[in-house]
Amino acid sequence: MARFNRTPSTAWGMARRIEENYARQVQRLTISIGRRLRRARTVEEVRRLLLVISNDPEFNAYCEALAMNMANRVFRSSEGNWRRAAQEVAHRRGRLIFEELQRTFTNTPLGLTVNDIVMENAQLIKTLPSRLDAQLATIMAKESAIAGVRHETLTKNILDQFFGGLEANEYKARRIARTETGKAHMALTQARAQSLGLNWYIWRTAQDGDRVRVAHRHMEGVLVSYNDPPNPETLADEPGTNGNYHAGCIFNCRCFAEPIIDLDWIEWPRQVHVSGTIRTMTRAQFNALAA
């Protein structure tokens, strides 16, 4: 059996252009909504238009197409990673991966995962009007607390703040895109891995210093079971927690999962996450645990 002296860690990262493309599309949609809303002259008209948009069949169809496009891009990126892995593994596991890639994913767990990603993201985008309405309600509450302001001035202040927020939405769009493409990439990687009987991955970060949150730096290189997501904040003794989650599955996270296809790729001893703790294990100890 071939023995590797390295871990192909960068191969499994998702192309950032997918995230950037999704962010641009979400931002364009928000700007498009903003253009329609600018016809309104009162807060009541803005809220009425938001309700009309949320019930517009064309808007809903566009949201579904946007979600489908993102899911397809992530799927193709994920499949490319698996094809490269199949080429690197020169034994039975490589052939198994290659044969699996030839099968259609319609009505398979992988196909259902793609469908779930599309439905979840379409629903997320469709809630844009209601979230904008909630944002408008928050601004109204703050402005209405100011005593002695004429109604006309109050309305103008509210609309100015609301539309100013719409036009400065790049960060929100990028955050949505990064979070949702990361979750989609992880879901597809996990579905494909577990269909091949691969139940463990290596948690990988973007490895760019202080830009990586402390809790995730603590997880870099740790072996994690798909069936046992860690709680990175608790493991790093940080105050607060986001609960248990896999690499790339929390807001604004750039981490990703590198499936363990061959234990010869791993340097031992290794840190392994087990039931809420991180332990250093030899290969023999890990084999006993995985079995």
Model pLDDT for residues 245-280, shown as the tens digit of each residue:
999 999 989 999 999 988 888 999 999 999 999 999
**CA 60 to CA 87: how far, in whole Å?**
41
The structure's pTM equals 0.77
> What pLDDT is recorded for position 143?
77
Predicted confidence at residue 114, as pLDDT, reads 80
Run of H or E including 161: helix 151-167
Q: What element of type H or E holds 116?
A: helix 109-126
- Ranges in the chain, pLDDT < 70: 1-15, 86-111, 145-152, 167-168
276: left (phi over 0), alpha (psi -120 to 50) or beta: left
Secondary structure of residue 56 in the 3-state scheme: coil
Q: Are strands 200-204 and 256-259 parallel, antiparallel or unpaired?
A: antiparallel
The CA distance from 265 to 97, in Å, is: 16
| pLDDT value at residue 75 | 84
